[in-house]
A and B are shown apart, each in its own frame.
Chain A
Amino acid sequence: MKVQEAYLEVVNDLGLHARAAVKLVVEANKFDSYVMLSREGTPEVNAKSIMGVLTLAAGKGSVVKVRCEGDDAEEALEALRGLFRSGFEDESQAKEKPGTEAND
């Protein structure tokens, strides 16, 4: 059993709000591994549960610890990393707004 961990930052303006949470949950469910999320001082929640993800209440700038456990842990972590980095492909972000990329 492989275990993969990373700390990922929420970069989109609205944070892990409903729209972003839907994307995260759908993505996590594509993998067999357990995917658990936590923030400093909060209990772990299942990334495959939308209610769990929403209780994280992760606003912009918060850092989320992602822990994947299972045969496809590596792939799962990479997929989530991509989502966090793209700001959950939030239309209210990034697109048509080249100015925001400059900070990277």
Chain B
Amino acid sequence: MTDRTEDEVKRAPGRSAFIDGMSASPGVAIGRAFTVDRRRIRTPKYHISAEQAEAEIERLEAAIDMSERQLQDIENRLSRDSDSQEHVLIVRAHRLMLRDEMLVDKARDLIIEEHANAEWALRRTVRRIKKSFDLIRDEYFRERRSDIDFVSDRIIRNLMGHIVDLEEAPPENSIVVAHDLSPADTIMLSRHSILGIVTDVGARTSHSAIVARALEIPAVVGAAGVSEIAGNGDRIIIDGTRGHVVLWPSQREVRTYRAARRRYLAHEEELLAERDLPAKTKDGHRVQLFGNIEFDKELDSVITHGGDGIGLYRTEFLYVGRKDLPTEEEHYEVYRRLLDRADGLPVIIRTFDLGGDKVPIPGRAREPNPAMGLRAVRFSLNRPDIFKTQLRALLRAGVHGDLRIMFPLISGPAELEEVKACLKEASAELAGQDVPHREDVPVGIMVELPSAAVVADRLAASCDFFSIGTNDLIQYALGIDRQNRDVAYLYKPSHLAILRLLKTIAEAGKEAGIPVSICGEMAGDPMNVPLLLAMGLDSFSMNALSIPMVKRIIRAMTLDECRDLLRRAMELSSIDEIEKLVRGEMIARFPEELAG
């Protein structure tokens, strides 16, 4: 057949499609696609007769009524969850828009006077309203255009009898396939049992990814095009651990992934069985295992995976993807909620590690070399007004739990003093205003610049803890941009220079009697565990999912054998030799866990 469409070819039996995406939540799911269409619909345009006008208006009003009921329903479901207050307000604004005279009266006029059908009349009205928004200079208000689209799309879908919300439960074995999911969609979905989620767009931080992790189901985001080619009910496999999708899998692929799924589940179960045991070596050396998180919901995952607290809470999300700066109250609410959830466990919050290009302020300039530019504390000190808003909120939140504040990218003692002075000012302000706060919140720094590592002894004298940020430390020390494919291969934690830097930092901390933690990716790699233990680090902070494996390794080793391995590794010179030694020893020691 020569006139087969491209689609039919793709769906030809026996030919599967592999789509690469990003891992958003680990695990493997094998099921059938449940497609959720959120793209724009085509608006039918036709003229009605004068006699039909009244009926057409009734049709419009019925669609508005139906839309109102749907939004009311969503609002009711949202209100039960305290995290969703922001969504509730959005839904409320949408409900008011449904009944707005600017929308309804004008559409009615067009039906009567120009004999336009309801869908067309509405679309034309919306276009007109949006024009008055286009003129607005303020970006926030201008962007309310998208809310008007959302509302009018809903009415039009109702007029056309399309499914508007995910009202019916997805069938068993469903994997949700969508271009993107709205907050309302994800909340509806989380009430049904689904096997996994895959979307065309999105990042690890998008709403669907967070919900998937909270539900502990696999998810892949950024699988471009998946919603275009997957049909409802098509067989689909998602590998949330590796971040890809197999559409229309062959029998053989199904078998392969079934095995992968079994392995993953067995492994999870086995590791979780050990979650309540302490991270202690066989000879009794106890360390703490913390989680790195970005959203308070992820805290639960850290705890279920046996974490002892939060070693790194990133606050950048408060600033990005919005048109204005977060207020002190917004900061405070977020921190207080996190501390409430942590229920007494230690929580280290890092002040924002952003460059001026990411913060929503006017006049932000592009920098030729952002990694070495105005970012993190440099930016904070450049804009003390923005910085102090966060510091005030942190100090206020300090009364609600075991909070510790951490400053990123400190380069030396003078900078640390400057940052501490800001904190002191914030504290004095709060005291002057009689606002409850905790004055003596422990203050630590990220040691992630080689300069800070070299003068770690001086820095240790004036802060309460260190946390080694290996991702940046390795980049800066080795002069390698990890994003640059040509040199990324040189990014190696096993470089002798890195081991020496880590040792220097750990010793400086010990000398001063302050705890030293490590919070880069290096901390979550089981191969590095003995080296880090031998250096005498007090805590390891990592992705929640890495905690069980690291704990298992720690519990199986003695400090003496770790020290012996570190000593032998540091006698070698090249990255290859060091890696070969450590990997060889570890794989021999843990064949089941680490081989393959």
Contact = CB atoms under 8 A, between A and B. Distances in A.
Interface in A1-51: 13-14, 17-19, 21-22, 25-26, 46, 48-51
> How many interface residues does chain B have, given as a range?
20 to 34
A14 B324 contact: yes
A15 B92 CA distance: 18
A91 interface: yes
Contacts of A14: 324, 327
B329 A97 contact: yes
Interface stretch (A53-61, A69-77, A78-86): A53-61
B103 interface: yes
A14 B90 CA distance: 15
A48 B101 contact: yes
Nearest to A52: B102
Nearest to A50: B96
Contacts of B429: 99
B100 A19 contact: no
A13 B96 contact: no
Interface in B417-456: 429, 433-435
Interface stretch (B129-137, B495-503, B587-595): B129-137
A19 B88 CA distance: 10
A99 B93 contact: no
A9 B89 CA distance: 23
B402 interface: no
Contacts of A92: 327, 329-330
B137 A19 contact: no
B129 A57 contact: no
Contacts of A95: 329
Contact of A50 (B97, B328, B332): B97
Contacts of B89: 18-19, 22
A96 B138 contact: no
Contacts of B434: 98
Interface of B: 89-90, 92-93, 96-97, 100-103, 129, 132-133, 136-138, 140-142, 144, 147-148, 324, 327-330, 332-333, 429, 433-435
Given A49-B101, A51-B102, A55-B141, A96 B93 contact: no
Contacts of B101: 46, 48-49
Given A49-B102, A93-B329, A55 B96 contact: no
B132 A97 contact: no
A91 B103 CA distance: 30
Contact of B435 (A21, A22, A26, A98): A98
Nearest to B101: A49
Contacts of A17: 140-141
Interface of A: 13-14, 17-19, 21-22, 25-26, 46, 48-52, 54-55, 57, 59, 91-93, 95-99
A22 B92 contact: yes
Given A18-B89, A93-B327, A97-B329, A54 B433 contact: no
B141 A13 contact: no
A17 B322 CA distance: 13
A49 B100 contact: yes
A57 B136 contact: yes
B138 A57 contact: yes
Given A46-B102, A48-B101, A99-B429, 15 more contacts: A17-B140, A18-B89, A18-B144, A19-B89, A21-B93, A49-B100, A51-B97, A51-B100, A51-B148, A57-B138, A57-B141, A59-B138, A96-B329, A96-B435, A97-B329
Contacts of A98: 433-435
A77 to B, nearest CB: 21
Contacts of B97: 50-51
Given A97-B328, A97-B329, A18 B433 contact: no
A50 B92 CA distance: 11
A7 B495 CA distance: 68
Contacts of A19: 89, 93
A26 to B, nearest CB: 8
A22 B137 contact: no
Contacts of B140: 17
22 contacts: A17-B141, A18-B93, A18-B144, A21-B93, A25-B96, A26-B96, A48-B101, A50-B93, A50-B97, A50-B100, A51-B103, A52-B102, A54-B133, A54-B144, A55-B132, A57-B137, A92-B329, A93-B327, A96-B332, A97-B328, A98-B434, A99-B429
A103 to B, nearest CB: 12
